[in-house]
Every structure is written in C-alpha cells, then in structure tokens.
C-alpha cells in the first residue's frame, strides 16, 4: 500500500510515523512502470533532546517539501526520480550527528540536509566532506560552518554575521530616531557556539551605534533560574538587553525580566530561539515590544502564505525551521534538476552555481561564495499586540516599531 | 565588590529556588531512605507531573496552586500503583532490579511524553505572574513567594506526618530495620508502595509550585533532578532534615555563586560545597553511618 504524507500533517502524527514516512510515498515504485531509482537524501535533526521541538518542526518542513516535490513529478531531468528521505535524529549530540552521516552514507545518500544546531552541523558536514557528499545547512547560525573551505557545504540562509549586522543596523536606526535613548546594553547568551559567537559579534559591533556593552552574561542549557541574571541586569541598569539563546531559556529569561519588572528601553535578540508565534500568542504581556532579528518568511509571498495556511491547518506553527527546511529541499530538488543526476560532482557543481529563487524568503538573488548564499538576509520583527510584525527591511515591513518601550508603572 | 543589597537579594533568590529543590530532594531521599534505592525515574516523573499541571490549567482552567491537592493525590496514587504493579512486582526484592526498573520507567516515560505531548516548550501564564514584592534590592515575584511558603509548609507537614502518624512511624521503622518491622506486623510491601507514592507526591507538589515560573518539555525534569541528587547526598542519604537543609544550602550557594562568579562558573560553588562537606563529613550533613 502506498502511504502518502498528508498535506496538512500534524507534528505529533509525523513524529509517530517517522519510520513510515521514510518508507512511504516517497520511495515505492508503482507496479508495472519502470521507475527511476529514487534519490536518497539524509535529513539530520534533533527530534529528541532539549531542542526536540525545533527538530520536529524541521522534519515537518521536510515532509511537506518532499511530498510536494514528489507529487509534482519528482526530478524530471532524472526521469521523474522521487526523493527518498532517510531520517536521522542527532539527539542534539555532535557524535550522534556524525554517526548518522556515516550510517546514511552506507545507505547511499546523494546529499544531506540538517542539523539545526551549529556544532552538530559543523561536525556532520565535516564527516560528509570525506565522501564529497553535498551538505545543505537548513538551520545553523555559526559562520564557522562556511568558513572552513569545505566544498560540500551550502547554506542558503544567513549566518549570524549577517544577522548581527542587520540587527545592529536596525537597532542603530531605531535608537537614532528615538534620540539616542539607549546608551548601554547587557548581552545574555547561551554558552554554546551559537550564543557565544553571536554575543561576541554583538559586543564588538554595538559601540559602532553608540551603545556600550556593560557585560556579557553566559548561561548553560538548561538554566533553571534567571533570577540572578535579572538581578545583575537591574544593578547594571542598561537600556537594552540583548538575548541570544535557545527557546526554553529565551522564554524563561523574558518571563523573569517581566516578572521582576526590569525597566528597559528594549529587549532585542539576534536569532532569538524563542521568538515565535507560540511565545507571542501565549505570553502577549511578556513578549510585548520585544524585538528579534531572525529568519522570517516573506509576508508578501503568496506561496509563503499558502504554505503557512497548510501548516497551521495541520495544527502546527509556521516557525522558521519549517520554511527553512522546506526551502532547502526545494533548493536541492532544483539543483538535482539542473544536474540531471545524483552524481556528487555534478550535484556539487549545480549547487555552487545555483541561482535558485527562494520564493518563501525575503532574500536577494541567490549566489554562493564559499558555500554561503550572498543574497541571504534576515528580517527584524517586533511583538506587537500579540502578533509578530516585520519592522525591517522596510520593503517587507508590516508595522512601525515601538521604541523605547513604555516603562513598567 | 558587590553591593550588600544585591547580595541580600541573591540570598533571597537562592532561598526561593531552594524551596523547590527541597521538595524534589525530599521525595528522592524518602524513597532512598525506605527502599534503599536511587529512583532514576525521579526526573521523568517530575516532568509527567508538570504536564499534569499544565493540562489541568490548559484544558480545565485550574490554577496550578488550586491543583495542588489534586496533583499531589494523583501523583501519590500513580507512584503507589507504579510500585505495586511494576517496581515491586518485578524487582523480586533485589535492589539492582529496582534500579534497572526505575531507569526503564524513565526511558519509557520520556519517550512517551515526546510522542504524545511533542517536544515544544509549554508554559502557564497565570494572571498574577507579574505581581511582585519589593524587598530592598530584591524584586520577588509573587508566584515564587507562594511556592516557597507552600514548599516549607508541605515539608513541615510531611515531617510532622512522618513523626506523629502511625504510617509515618511505620515507615521510619521500616527505614531503620526492615526485618524488625516485618516481625512486629508491619505490612512491609504495602509501606514500600506508600513510601514510593509519598515520594512521587512530593514531585506532584513541586510540579504545581514550579509551573507558574518554569516551563515543561519532555526533558525539563532533569534540570531539577540532578541538583536533587546532589542535595540528597550532601544532606545525608535518606535524611529528611538533610534534604531540607541541603536544598536551601544549595539554592543559596548556587545563587551567590552566580552573583560572584557569573552564571556559568557559579555552578562550581555547588560542587565546591559538596566536596567540602563530604570531605569533613562523608555521610553528609545529617547522614548516619549506614
């Protein structure tokens, strides 16, 4: 029997049926027709562990994209070859991510897509480099990912360098417009590669917009309690708190600062792990006026809006993991189409020369330099009245920013 | 040098955090004291209790503090039944089997939670979340004050129950001398299950007190259970008083360590005080010479 991934698949159902997905619509040839061999693609995400939700969201995007590609006739230049997903769980562990690469290599994958966390992506793509297998980073912010001279690594999305530059520029413009109300900042970041790297970049660049960094505060994952950090922030009295952490700690920190009534001109994050619809809808008071520079879909793209509706109709949230994973599958399918083969050299050449139009994203023209898409850019958003509004770049803006935010009475 | 007012606020924050640690640790030490096993499922069962609190709020609109008796009762029954039907039945009286069984329970519960609840972060937004009490430099959120007071009262209540009630006395007798307790007619198997149930009920209470200020994911129980293990050893394994004192001590140490050394290095303070105490008193603060 042929099992299809539903168009509006629920996340829970998806996780439960992960194995079925791998063996489902995506791979079985119909009886009587000479079907070309499917193109095996390895998807490695943390579907268990402390960022399991993010990994599951990425898988949701993968499932929808693979389904769409296959339903649309597969890779036409390869005789309609279907994409066959091999699903791997990194468990948020570097060594497990690498082991998944090795396992999938044995099964003959043509390419990998993953891994959500930068350290896992760095190690897994290095492992894939041994076999000259393309590795597409759907989510993974560290710029080290594309700065190692590896020819098999491609990142369509912006890294934290670009996101920090954009965020700093936006914050600088807001502050100037507000008469330079913000003069100092405290940066709170998770202690891994993502948070530390982003914090260092922020710390180096904030003075260029007239904001001095009073302190960088690192925390572990998980952190049980942010009371002391709130206390420290209160004693330092910065106008801005910048956050760079994963979902749980992002939400906990925001809630603690709200509960402790820490008065700030603004809370600003770059790649804030918890800035999403769920947080904004469930905690509108806590999230009100918080700003984030992050991956965001192009709100003016009809295709993005249609995908958003499909995802939400399935009872899921349209988070960046979903549309970035979806876009990367489409990008890989486009490259396979142009390569006309799953041969690794041909596929690598097609990826490197790609001008793929990422319709869902607010990106400029695609052009890869050392594996990084030069057209990639983030959006700056603000939580306003229980919704997420884009406040920059201006051509995608859906609302005017509120800065500084009103003080607690 | 830090302002004394900030240090004072740090101590208060530590005490508030310690209140929750005490509840989790008391449950753990009670189970150890009676059953002589480390309950590896402690973190998973705490997580399960937190989901129970979350769903009571989400589906029925029951405030986490109002849910206290319900969740404590439910957790007790769950622990009692879990011991009767699984742990007690299949351990065949061997401690190593109990260890493996509780480890197995934790794996099953963790993965079942991931399957049924998803990996997303779930929180409870109580209307009084933003209310706080200002005490010098300290801004103490009302939910944390309620949690602290409730935790102290619950621990005191449990302490009195263990000291005065027949069941409490029987549990203490059982903890001291298993065979002697059986000889004087105490239903040992039932009391094992009751003790396990009380230990899990403590987790139910901790879950209610945690949820207004924390979150739940399938792995969130582990954030507290590791520190609870430290407290149990520090206070003296099986010692009720040790768990209570150790909980507050670790809470304050963690808080001050964070203030003086930074949030990451601050965790060293816990290890340092742990090593120091065990160096001078290897059985822990209130541990006997078992």
On average, the pLDDT of chain A sits at 90
**Could A53 and B120 be called an inter-chain contact, meaning their C-beta atoms sit closer than 8 Å?**
yes
> Domain spanning A11-157+300-373 has what CATH number?
3.40.50.2300
Q: Write down the residue that tokens 């709130």 correspond to.
A: A230
Average pLDDT score over residue span A251-259: 92
- Predicted local confidence at residue B238, as pLDDT: 85
Find the residue in B nearest to A226 (Cα).
B263
B contact residues 207-236, partner A, Cβ 8 Å cutoff: 213-215, 217-220, 222-224, 227
Q: How far apart are CA A35 and CA A30, in angstroms?
A: 7
Q: Is residue B115 part of a domain?
A: yes
Mutate to test the interface with B, among A224, A282, A321, A322 (most CBs of B within 10 A): A224
Please give the radius of gyration of chain B, using alpha carbons only, rounded to the nearest integer.
19
Confidence band, pLDDT 50/70/90 cuts, at residue A21: very low
H helix runs in B67-187, sequence order? 68-82, 88-91, 95-117, 142-164, 166-176, 178-183
pLDDT, tens digit, 9 for 90 and up, residues A78-89: 999 999 999 999
pLDDT, tens digit, 9 for 90 and up, residues B158-177: 999 999 999 999 999 988 88
**Could A259 and B130 be called an inter-chain contact, meaning their C-beta atoms sit closer than 8 Å?**
yes
Task: List, in order, residues 6 or more apart from A268 with CB less than 8 Å away.
Answer: A167, A171, A240, A241, A242, A243, A290, A291, A292, A293
Q: Is residue B17 part of a domain?
A: no
Q: Is residue B180 part of a domain?
A: yes
Fold of the domain built from segment(s) A161-294+379-396: Rossmann fold (3.40.50)
Sort out which chain A residues have CB atoms less than 8 A from B139's CB and list them.
Answer: 230, 234, 260-261
B contact residues 125-164, partner A, Cβ 8 Å cutoff: 125, 129-130, 132, 137-139, 141, 143-144
Average pLDDT score over residue span A248-254: 93
Residues B46 and B151 in one domain: yes
Is the per-residue pLDDT at B264 higher than 90?
A: no
User: How far does B229 lie from chain A, in Å, by closest CA?
Assistant: 15
pLDDT, tens digit, 9 for 90 and up, residues A205-218: 999 999 999 999 99
Determine phi and psi for B162, rounding to 5 degrees: -70, -30
Q: Is residue B6 part of a domain?
A: no
**Could B13 and A223 be called an inter-chain contact, meaning their C-beta atoms sit closer than 8 Å?**
no
Specify burial of residue A156 (Cβ count, 10 A radius: 0-12, 13-18, 19+).
Answer: buried
Q: Are A227 and B17 in contact (CB under 8 A)?
A: yes
User: How far does B192 lie from chain A, in Å, by closest CA?
Assistant: 31
Residues B73 and B186 in one domain: yes
**Could B258 and A228 be called an inter-chain contact, meaning their C-beta atoms sit closer than 8 Å?**
yes
- Predicted local confidence at residue A34, as pLDDT: 66
Q: How far apart are CA B235 and CA B287, in angstroms?
A: 7
User: How far does A339 lie from chain B, in Å, by closest CA?
Assistant: 37
Average pLDDT score over residue span B231-240: 90
Task: List, in order, residues 6 or more apart from A117 with CB less than 8 Å away.
Answer: A46, A51, A90, A92, A140, A192, A194
- Predicted local confidence at residue B262, as pLDDT: 78
Q: How far apart are CA A364 and CA A266, in angstroms?
A: 29
**Could A235 and B6 be called an inter-chain contact, meaning their C-beta atoms sit closer than 8 Å?**
yes
Choosing from B219, B235, B269, the residue where a domain stops is B219
pLDDT, tens digit, 9 for 90 and up, residues A264-310: 999 999 988 889 888 998 899 999 999 999 999 988 899 999 999 99
Q: Provide the strand spans (E) within A146-207.
A: 153-155, 184-190
- Predicted local confidence at residue B38, as pLDDT: 82
**Secondary structure letter of residue A395 according to DSSP:** G
Q: Provide the ipTM.
A: 0.81
Q: Are A389 and A287 in contact (CB under 8 A)?
A: no
Is the per-residue pLDDT at A106 higher than 90?
A: yes
DSSP-derived 3-state class of residue A124: helix
Determine phi and psi for B253, rounding to 5 degrees: -60, -45
Q: Is residue B9 part of a domain?
A: no
Closest CA to B263 of A219, A83, A328: A219
| A219 vs B111, B255, B264: nearest CB | B264
**Could A228 and B259 be called an inter-chain contact, meaning their C-beta atoms sit closer than 8 Å?**
yes
Q: Are B263 and A218 in contact (CB under 8 A)?
A: yes
Return the sign of the alpha-carbon dihedral for residues B95, B101, B107, B113. negative
pLDDT, tens digit, 9 for 90 and up, residues B27-65: 999 998 888 888 999 999 999 999 999 999 999 999 999
Find the residue in B nearest to A49 (Cα).
B219
Q: How far apart are CA A68 and CA A328, in angstroms?
A: 13
**Could B219 and A285 be called an inter-chain contact, meaning their C-beta atoms sit closer than 8 Å?**
no
**Could A234 and B137 be called an inter-chain contact, meaning their C-beta atoms sit closer than 8 Å?**
yes
Is the per-residue pLDDT at B1 higher than 70?
A: no
Confidence band, pLDDT 50/70/90 cuts, at residue B259: confident
Choosing from B186, B219, B252, the residue where a domain stops is B219
Looking at chain B, the whole-number percentage of residues with pLDDT higher than 70 is 98
Q: How far apart are CA B135 and CA B6, in angstroms?
A: 11
DSSP-derived 3-state class of residue A184: strand
| A278 vs B114, B120, B254: nearest CB | B120
State whether residue B96 sits within 8 Å of chain A by CB.
Answer: no
Tell me which range, A347-356, B214-223, B281-290, is most confidently predicted by mean pLDDT: A347-356
Average pLDDT score over residue span A382-406: 91
Q: How far apart are CA A239 and CA A404, in angstroms?
A: 9
Q: Write down the residue that tokens 């995608």 correspond to.
A: A396
Q: How far apart are CA B228 and CA B250, in angstroms?
A: 9
DSSP-derived 3-state class of residue A227: helix
- Predicted local confidence at residue A25, as pLDDT: 44
- What does DSSP say about strands A111-114 and B215-216: parallel, antiparallel, or unpaired? unpaired
State whether residue B267 sits within 8 Å of chain A by CB.
Answer: yes
Q: How far apart are CA B220 and CA B133, in angstroms?
A: 27
| B220-223: Cβ within 8 A, 24+ apart | B220/A222, B220/A248, B220/B47, B220/B50, B221/B42, B221/B43, B221/B44, B221/B45, B221/B46, B221/B47, B221/B48, B221/B50, B222/A222, B222/B43, B222/B47, B223/A222, B223/A223, B223/A224
Residues B131 and B113 in one domain: yes
**Could A229 and B264 be called an inter-chain contact, meaning their C-beta atoms sit closer than 8 Å?**
no
| B219 vs A12, A50, A191: nearest CB | A50
Q: Are B223 and A259 in contact (CB under 8 A)?
A: no
**Tokens in use for A295?**
């991956």
- Predicted local confidence at residue A300, as pLDDT: 84
Mutate to test the interface with B, among A259, A276, A288 (most CBs of B within 10 A): A259
Average pLDDT score over residue span A317-339: 96
Residues B243 and B215 in one domain: no
* DSSP secondary structure, A63-99, as one string: HHHHHHHHHTTSBGGGTSBPEEEEEEE-TT-HHHHHH
Count: domains in chain B: 2
| B264 vs A47, A191, A247: nearest CB | A191
Q: Provide the strand spans (E) within chain B.
A: 122-123, 132-135, 138-141, 215-216
State whether residue B8 sits within 8 Å of chain A by CB.
Answer: no
**Could A52 and B220 be called an inter-chain contact, meaning their C-beta atoms sit closer than 8 Å?**
no
State whether residue B4 sits within 8 Å of chain A by CB.
Answer: no
Q: How far apart are CA A260 and CA A212, in angstroms?
A: 24
Is the per-residue pLDDT at A10 higher than 80?
A: no
| B255 vs A53, A228, A260: nearest CB | A228
- Predicted local confidence at residue A257, as pLDDT: 93
Neighbours of A49 (CB within 10 A): 20
**Could A248 and B264 be called an inter-chain contact, meaning their C-beta atoms sit closer than 8 Å?**
no
- Predicted local confidence at residue A261, as pLDDT: 86
User: How far does A275 lie from chain B, in Å, by closest CA?
Assistant: 12
Question: Which pTM value belongs to this model?
Answer: 0.78
State whether residue B266 sits within 8 Å of chain A by CB.
Answer: yes
Q: How far apart are CA A277 and CA A379, in angstroms?
A: 15
Specify burial of residue B175 (Cβ count, 10 A radius: 0-12, 13-18, 19+).
Answer: buried
Specify burial of residue A200 (Cβ count, 10 A radius: 0-12, 13-18, 19+).
Answer: middle
Mutate to test the interface with B, among A227, A233, A263, A386 (most CBs of B within 10 A): A227
Q: Are A163 and A145 in contact (CB under 8 A)?
A: no
Choosing from B219, B244, B260, the residue where a domain stops is B219
What is the extent of the structural domain holding B278?
A: 220-290
State whether residue B6 sits within 8 Å of chain A by CB.
Answer: yes
Find the residue in B nearest to A11 (Cα).
B118
Q: Is residue B226 part of a domain?
A: yes
- What does DSSP say about strands A372-373 and B138-141: parallel, antiparallel, or unpaired? unpaired
Q: How far apart are CA B105 and CA B87, in angstroms?
A: 9
**Could A228 and B10 be called an inter-chain contact, meaning their C-beta atoms sit closer than 8 Å?**
yes
The interaxial angle of helices A118-129 and A193-205, nearest 10 deg, is 110
**Could B219 and A51 be called an inter-chain contact, meaning their C-beta atoms sit closer than 8 Å?**
no
Is the per-residue pLDDT at A362 higher than 60?
A: yes
Q: Give Cα separations from B278 to B28, B200, B285 (angstroms).
A: 19, 27, 8
Is the per-residue pLDDT at A12 higher than 80?
A: no
**Could A259 and B143 be called an inter-chain contact, meaning their C-beta atoms sit closer than 8 Å?**
yes
Closest CA to A401 of A239, A187, A177: A177
**Tokens in use for B7?**
């240090």
| Domain positions in chain A | 11-157+300-373, 161-294+379-396
| B13 vs A51, A228, A251: nearest CB | A228
**Could B223 and A252 be called an inter-chain contact, meaning their C-beta atoms sit closer than 8 Å?**
no
On average, the pLDDT of chain B sits at 90
DSSP-derived 3-state class of residue A405: coil
Confidence band, pLDDT 50/70/90 cuts, at residue A33: low
Please give the radius of gyration of chain A, using alpha carbons only, rounded to the nearest integer.
21
Q: Write down the residue that tokens 């203490």 correspond to.
A: B172
Specify burial of residue A1 (Cβ count, 10 A radius: 0-12, 13-18, 19+).
Answer: exposed
Find the residue in A nearest to B224 (Cα).
A224
Average pLDDT score over residue span A71-84: 97
């Amino acid at each position: 029997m042929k099992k299809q991934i539903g168009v509006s698949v629920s996340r829970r159902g998806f996780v439960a049926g992960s194995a079925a997905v791998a063996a489902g619509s995506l791979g079985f040839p119909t009886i009587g027709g000479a079907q070309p061999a499917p193109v095996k693609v390895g998807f490695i995400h943390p579907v268990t562990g402390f960022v399991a939700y993010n990994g599951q969201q990425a898988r949701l995007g993968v499932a929808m994209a693979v389904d769409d590609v296959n339903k649309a006739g597969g890779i036409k230049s390869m005789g309609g070859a279907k994409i066959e997903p091999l699903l791997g769980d990194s468990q948020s562990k570097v060594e497990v991510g690498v082991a998944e690469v090795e396992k999938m290599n044995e099964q003959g994958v043509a390419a990998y897509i993953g891994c959500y966390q930068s350290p896992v992506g760095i190690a897994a793509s290095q492992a894939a480099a041994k076999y000259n297998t393309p590795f597409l980073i759907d989510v993974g912010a560290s710029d080290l990912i594309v700065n190692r001279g590896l020819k098999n690594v491609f990142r369509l999305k912006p890294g934290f360098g670009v996101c920090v530059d954009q965020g700093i520029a936006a914050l600088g413009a807001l502050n100037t417009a507000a008469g330079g109300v913000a003069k100092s900042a405290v940066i709170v970041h998770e202690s891994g590669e993502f948070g530390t790297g982003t914090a260092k970049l922020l710390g180096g660049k904030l003075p260029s917009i007239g904001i001095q960094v009073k302190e960088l505060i690192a925390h572990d994952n998980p952190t049980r309690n942010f009371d002391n950090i709130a206390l420290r922030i209160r004693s330092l009295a910065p106008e801005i708190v910048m956050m760079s952490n994963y979902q749980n700690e992002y939400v906990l920190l925001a809630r603690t600062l709200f509960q402790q009534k820490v008065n700030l001109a603004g809370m600003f994050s770059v790649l804030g792990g918890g800035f999403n619809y769920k947080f904004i809808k469930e905690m509108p008071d806590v999230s009100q006026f918080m700003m984030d520079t992050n991956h965001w879909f192009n709100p003016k793209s009809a295709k993005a809006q249609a995908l958003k509706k499909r995802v939400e109709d399935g009872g899921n949230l349209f988070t960046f993991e979903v549309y970035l994973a979806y876009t990367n599958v489409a990008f890989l399918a486009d490259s396979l189409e142009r390569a006309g083969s799953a041969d690794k050299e041909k596929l690598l050449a097609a990826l490197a020369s790609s001008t793929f139009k990422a319709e869902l994203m607010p990106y400029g023209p695609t052009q890869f330099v050392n594996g990084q898409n030069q057209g990639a850019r983030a959006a700056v958003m603000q939580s306003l009245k229980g919704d997420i509004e884009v406040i920059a770049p201006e051509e995608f803006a859906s609302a005017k920013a509120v800065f500084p935010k009103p003080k607690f009475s | 040098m830090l302002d004394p007012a900030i240090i004072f606020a740090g101590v208060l924050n530590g005490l508030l955090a310690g209140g929750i640690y005490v509840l989790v640790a008391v449950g753990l030490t009670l189970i150890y004291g009676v059953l002589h096993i480390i309950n590896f499922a402690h973190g998973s069962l705490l997580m399960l209790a937190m989901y129970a609190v979350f769903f009571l709020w989400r589906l029925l609109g029951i405030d986490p503090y109002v849910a206290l008796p319900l969740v404590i009762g439910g957790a007790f029954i769950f622990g009692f039944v879990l011991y009767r039907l699984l742990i007690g039945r299949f351990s065949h009286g061997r401690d190593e089997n109990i260890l493996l069984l509780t480890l197995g329970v934790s794996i099953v519960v963790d993965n079942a939670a991931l399957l049924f609840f998803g990996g997303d972060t779930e929180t409870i937004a109580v209307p009084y979340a933003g209310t706080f009490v200002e005490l010098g430099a300290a801004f103490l959120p009302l939910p944390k004050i309620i949690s602290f007071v409730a935790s102290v009262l619950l621990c005191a209540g449990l302490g009195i129950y263990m000291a005065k009630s027949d069941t409490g006395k029987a549990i203490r007798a059982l903890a001291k001398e298993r065979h002697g307790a059986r000889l004087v007619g105490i239903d040992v198997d039932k009391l094992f299950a009751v003790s396990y149930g009380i230990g899990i009920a403590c987790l139910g209470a901790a879950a209610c007190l945690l949820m207004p200020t924390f979150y739940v994911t399938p792995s969130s129980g582990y954030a507290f259970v590791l520190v609870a293990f430290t407290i149990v050893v520090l206070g003296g394994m099986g010692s009720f008083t040790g768990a209570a004192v150790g909980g507050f001590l670790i809470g304050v140490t963690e808080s001050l360590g964070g203030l003086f050394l930074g949030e990451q290095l601050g965790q060293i303070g816990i290890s340092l005080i742990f090593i120091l105490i065990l160096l001078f008193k290897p059985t822990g603060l209130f541990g006997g010479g078992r």
